[in-house]
Structure 1
Amino acid sequence: MPFFSIVIPTYNRARLLEESLASVFAQELTDFEVLVVDDGSTDDTQAVLARYGERVRALRQTNQGQGAARNLGIQHATGRYIVFLDSDDLWFPWTLETYKQAIGMYGEPSVVMGTPAPFHHPEELGRVRRETLRAHAFADYFATAEESFVRTACVIAVRAEALRRVEGFTARRISGEDHDLLYRLGTERGFVCVEAPLAVGYRQHGGSSSRELERGFEGLCYLLEQERLGGYPGGAARKRERLMLILHNARHVTRWLVEGGRPELALELYRRSLRGHLSVPRWRYMLGFPPWMVASVLRQLRR
């Protein structure tokens, strides 16, 4: 059994996938297996994967989205911990060694989350230097509600048994499926956030399309509805922590929607999240967002 199973979902990113795999095979720690899930690509992804032979377990499905692709990888993974890498992102040579060091230091927590280094061009990552491990441990993920750090599936290693216990990712085609997973893992024992060294080169793409904005809106609506229906663990005792996490994300997305030219979606998300903001409460946002949105829209109209 390998210590890590690396799951890489991909769709029509053959060239970027090669770069990602090169960063995987440059790892200092080699106790891992690699599973690439081709989510119905129509480019030469299959030809690229064939060149790796037995070094990569290539899985393929009809196009169903990133959540379903990751779940197929989880189904076939054999490692103690499952690590996710997006097929346009890059690892540093120390990434897996850092995760394993944190896992050993903090008693095999359910989730270890690294810190990403945003980049547009790979050469920018040459400025990143390896640092001494700095990490913060928590009883579980919900206990991080008041902490500020980037939260995304592309920088997490999850104990396989915990991941399977919560049944992996939602298969819905939404943005925010990684947040949904983290909330369902919210009470699993042990969460560690690795502040340094940086773990993942997180590729930045161009401006958001209308469909991306809509998926972001749909994703937050899904998270709010799951919370309303009791879909996340912890019961009443952990409700405030769950709401703090979900609503922090909602505030970010409402601003993104306004800046992306979809104020009607931002206003609807504001309306749907208002009850939660009242219970936390977040008066500054509740009172300040509507006038900020109006001013932002007016500025956009004058351009």
Structure 2
Amino acid sequence: MGGSPEASHRDADGVAPVVSVVVPLYNGAAWIAETLTSIERQTAGDLEVIVVDDGSSDDGREIARAHPVGARLLEQSHLGVAVARNRGLAEARGRWVAFLDQDDLWHPTHLERALAWLARHPGERIVFLRELVFTAADERERLARMDQGVGGWAGLLVSSDDTLGELVAAADVTGSDAVEVHDLEAMLRGPVSTTTSFLADPGLLRLAGGFAPHALAMDDYWLLVNVARLQPIPQVHQPTVFYRVHLGATSRTTRLGLPFLSSAVALRLGGGLVDLETGLSGRLDGSLHRHLLRELLGAPEYREPRFRGAVGHLAALLWPPDGRRRERRRATLAARLPWLRDAVRAVRRRGA
């Protein structure tokens, strides 16, 4: 992978755009127009926008093609969001690349702030900003019933008429110049932000291996763990990303438990990232690991012996020496006595 992005990805007139924005699209007709509008309204100029349609069956492609942002539309069969992101990364011609999911939005100053920070720190090849979580007011209660953690996550409630305008007007995006730096061990404790929050040198992401198609809802996390092997990842306290939680989201915590904790075992004990002693030390878990374990322990599937056994094996590897045995015993009792489980959940809801 020789050569710089400027040398290898120039436009027909010989000038590379400053930023390539990659938007993976799959049945996102309900959101894609406003997402592209949030790119169109960026105060930073000289952008190229690449929409990668991953085999949609709705009219999202047509909406993207007609949008005045002037996106380049790439089409493929349904291969998953990681492949779509990698396709956009391969096609990116910009000096920098950013990714915006079809249902998320950016404050107009998002790219300008990220570019300004990178200009002040010429040795850096990636920077994260921070996100504000929002949901439609009429979906919040249903989200809470489906997944209490997600239902209470959104700090901003909006109507569905002019979501972007409402967020820009209401959200406090002042932030500060505070920077948190995440090394490899920090990344192994869990994701630091969302895919839509970073701006990076595309060569760095390619060198790190790109997005991981095998890791459902965590393809970006595997990529960023590998980026952290190459260099620490700075995160600036500038909340310019509007991250949407909604009923159709694929990354709700109830769906992430087994895949994420299995990935955590592979990353810690695979032998390529940290030595075995560190991997088995139990020091690399984070709040998301603990939250997802609680989700698994409270899931209806926990009544099934095979499911319960899988959770137990993961817990033993991630939390030596006892694998949080006391929590698992309580969960087993609750699974065998459903009325007790329901009572515990009711207490948790009242305390939330």
TM-score by length of 2: 0.72
2:64 to 25, 42, 49: 49
What residue number does 1:83 align with? Answer: 98
What residue number does 1:201 align with? Answer: 242
What residue number does 2:294 align with? Answer: 255
**Distance 1:225-1:149 versus aligned 2 partners, 3 A rule:** closer
Report the Cα offset of residue 190 of structure 1: 4.0
Contact persistence 1:255–1:266 (CA under 8 A): no
Unaligned runs of 5+ in 1: none
Report the Cα offset of residue 42 of structure 1: 0.7
What residue number does 1:98 align with? Answer: 113
Question: Is 1:11 aligned to 2:37, yes or no?
Answer: no
Percent identity (aligned): 25
Question: Is 1:126 aligned to 2:169, yes or no?
Answer: yes
> What SS does structure 1 have at the residue aligned with 2:55?
coil
Between 167-176 and 61-70, report the one with greater CA deviation: 167-176
**Distance 1:211-1:194 versus aligned 2 partners, 3 A rule:** closer
In our comparison, the structure showing a higher alpha carbon Rg is 2
1:223-302 → structure 2 map (5 Å cutoff)? 223-232=264-273, 235-236=274-275, 239=278, 244=283, 248-263=287-302, 265=307, 268-278=310-320, 286-291=324-329, 293-294=331-332, 297=335, 298=338, 299-301=340-342
CA-based RMSD of the aligned residues comes to: 3.4
In 1, distance between residues paired with 2:104 and 2:243?
A: 5
> What SS does structure 2 have at the residue aligned with 1:185?
helix
Report the Cα offset of residue 273 of structure 1: 4.0
Deviations 1:107-130 (A, max 9, x none): 342331221111113335532123
Question: Is 1:154 aligned to 2:196, yes or no?
Answer: yes
> What SS does structure 1 have at the residue aligned with 2:220?
helix
2:221 to 179, 203, 208: 179
> What SS does structure 2 have at the residue aligned with 1:15?
coil
Report the Cα offset of residue 266 of structure 1: 6.7
**Distance 1:190-1:108 versus aligned 2 partners, 3 A rule:** farther
Report the Cα offset of residue 206 of structure 1: 2.8
What is the aligned residue count?
Answer: 295
What residue number does 1:71 align with? Answer: 86
In 2, distance between residues paired with 1:154 and 1:258?
A: 30
